[in-house]
Amino acid sequence: MSTDLQKGPDTTGAAPVHALEVRGLVKHYPGVKALDGVDFHVKQHEVLGLAGENGAGKSTLLKALVGLVKPDGGDIYVRGEKVRLRSVVEAAGHGIGMVFQEQSLVPNLTAAENIVLGSEAAGVRGGLYRWKTMRALAQEQLDKIGSDINPLARTDTLTFAERQMVEIAKVLRIEQRSQHAPVIILDEPTSVLESKEIETLFAQVRRLKEFASVVFVSHRLDEVLDVCDRVTVLRGGQSVGDVATAGAVPGDLHRMMIGSTGSDDHYHDGASERGGKPLEPMLSIRGLSGATFNGVDLDVHAGEIVGIVGVHGSGREDVCRALFGAEPVSGGEVTLDGVKLALTSTRTAVAAGIGYVPAERKIEGMVGPMSVADNMTLTKQKSRCSGPLVVPRKQATLVDGWIERLSIRTPNRGTAIQRLSGGNQQKVVLARWLVAGDIKLLLLDHPTRGLDIGARSEVYRLMRELANSGVATVLLADSLEEAIGMSDRIVVMSDGRATKEVHCPSGGKPTPLDLVKEMV
């Protein structure tokens, strides 16, 4: 393994030797200074939180720490030794491992193969897998996090939440790969986990602290304060300070993140602005059935936001995908604006006036190498064309208008969307349906997943604007609090059926406990 080591200046005398330290880290991209002299450190046996708005530099910093990004300046020290981390393998050799927000598993391999990938050791003999040993090695890691996932299950058959647990089990193998006390980086590890799975993860993080150091990144500030000892806040590519979590509240972090006080009413409940709802619903579903749901009835009126909540496996995600023609149905009727639909494909859904923002934004919601402009106009080619030809000036005028209106932070319209922060990517995905201009129904599957408070507030504002313009919206929220805060009504699903409807009037909204009682 090729690694450059140099003794750090803080390892003499009584100065503590940190598990991981960054000094003056700088990273430039075309038109963007992602890191602007970042300083931070992780103490031995500490859980350090890393907070900041989307675009603050968190992702770039983490990628530098695992050898995926080469900094333009600054130094990284591991246990007092200056290192150059030029690959994930080199980082692992120093005991640094990461659970990525955007999953890095190989879909056509088993969970066991993914967990031991790159560190098979006794699991391989003579170039052949020893499946019994492989399973045992993987099961050891899965047991640590209390997961009942079958190690021999193909990864592409697992749910998003199950794949996230496999990611966590995989990074725990760093204990066997390094001779040093590990540094484990968890990037948004709870974004799709249920409350019981989150509790299991937090217990594991606290166990890791006994023999390792942990960097924990989450846009859910209450989680950061719950599981971390200390929090470092980034803003604009710079580290702006540390906060001890004892006695701190989310507002303390929010002020540092955006330079102002966070507001508890960031959901911006605007139901009263839309007045009384029309007699006939914009969307009417009767007896909709599919592989994971059965006999679902649902009405959504123009200008109304209806949340669907349910535990993992309730079928709500598949209902949403079925309404967009991305999931087959076996029975039932769907009527939109008085017209019965046969949603046999996503193309027919879009033609009928249905928009969809998927949960896995980078996989299904955008084309990473394509520009902001091309992604924004992807589903409505006529908006940028004259006849069969693209008119650059027409596209530029349209796209620049929406970039300005939505405050999308991008060097220019021609920048590849994959270079934007998560919050700005989501604005572009939402803008795609605003550009279309003829959307009647908008399906939002976890639209704020992985976004910080500021970006979430922007998404909520856009949702309200669309509702106030008459768009009917179905929301699969990131949390029960979000569903309650944003919805006019909430439909509870359990075991593939819609079992309860709860109204959410201003001043009379249900509590999360009210919904949980109906979900289980």
Model confidence at 206, pLDDT cuts 50, 70, 90, reads confident
pLDDT in tens, 429-481: 888 888 867 889 999 998 887 777 777 888 888 888 889 889 999 999 888 88
Confidence class for position 1, pLDDT limits 50, 70, 90: very low
**Paired tokens of 142:** 């899965």
CB 101 within 8 A of CB 191: yes
Mean pLDDT over the full length of the chain:
84
pLDDT in tens, 145-162: 778 899 999 999 987 778
- The burial class, CB within 10 Å (0-12 / 13-18 / 19+), for 117 is middle
pLDDT at 487 over 90: yes
Residue 421 pLDDT > 90, yes or no? no
DSSP per residue, 136-155:
HHHHHHHHHTT----TTSBG
Question: Contact 187/61 with Cβ under 8 angstroms?
Answer: no
1-95+182-201+214-261 maps to CATH 3.40.50.1000: no
Give me the pLDDT at residue 242, please. Answer: 92
What is the pLDDT averaged over residues 157-177? 80
Q: Where in the chain is the domain with CATH 3.40.50.300?
A: 1-95+182-201+214-261
The beta strand positions in 430-471, using DSSP E, are: 441-445
Joined together, the tokens standing for residue 76 give 């990284």
Give the contacts of 404 (CB within 8 A, at least 6 positions apart): none
What is the percent of the chain where pLDDT is above 90? Answer: 38
Neighbours of 1 (CB within 10 A): 8
Distances (CA, A) of 519 to 286, 290, 484, 493, 499: 21, 20, 14, 7, 9
Least confident of 69-78, 259-268, 401-410: 259-268
- Chain length of the chain: 520
pLDDT digits (tens, 9 = 90+) for 354-411: 999 988 888 888 888 999 998 988 876 665 566 656 667 777 888 898 888 888 888 8
Q: What's residue 7's pLDDT?
A: 41
Quote the pLDDT of residue 4: 41
Average pLDDT of the segment spanning 506-514: 84
Q: What was the pLDDT predicted at 432? A: 86
Q: What are the pLDDT digits (tens) for 234-245?
A: 988 899 999 999
Instruction: Please give the average per-residue pLDDT across 57-64, as a whole number.
Output: 91
Q: What would the mean pLDDT of 8-16 be, rounded to a whole number?
A: 51
The per-residue pLDDT for range 301-321, each reduced to its tens digit, is 999 999 999 877 789 999 999
pTM as predicted: 0.63
> Can you give the pLDDT at residue 349?
92
Radius of gyration of the chain (CA): 24
The owner of tokens 């708005």 is 53
User: Confidence band (pLDDT; 50, 70, 90) for 266?
Assistant: low
Predicted pLDDT at 440: 94
The helix or strand, by DSSP H or E, that contains position 476, with its residue range, turns out to be strand 472-476
Structure tokens, 376? 């924004």
pLDDT at 195 over 80: no
Q: Is the pLDDT of residue 73 over 70?
A: yes
* Rounded-to-integer distance, Cα 77 and Cα 42, Å: 10
265 band by pLDDT with thresholds 50, 70 and 90: low
**Cα angle at 194 between 190 and 197, to 5 degrees?**
75
| Residue 426: how many other CB atoms lie within 10 Å | 27
pLDDT for residue 390? 65
Q: What is the pLDDT of residue 272?
A: 40
Q: Is the pLDDT of residue 130 over 90?
A: no
pLDDT at 25: 95
Return phi, psi of residue 200, to 5°: -65, -45
Mean pLDDT of the region 56-85:
92
Average pLDDT estimate for 3-29: 69
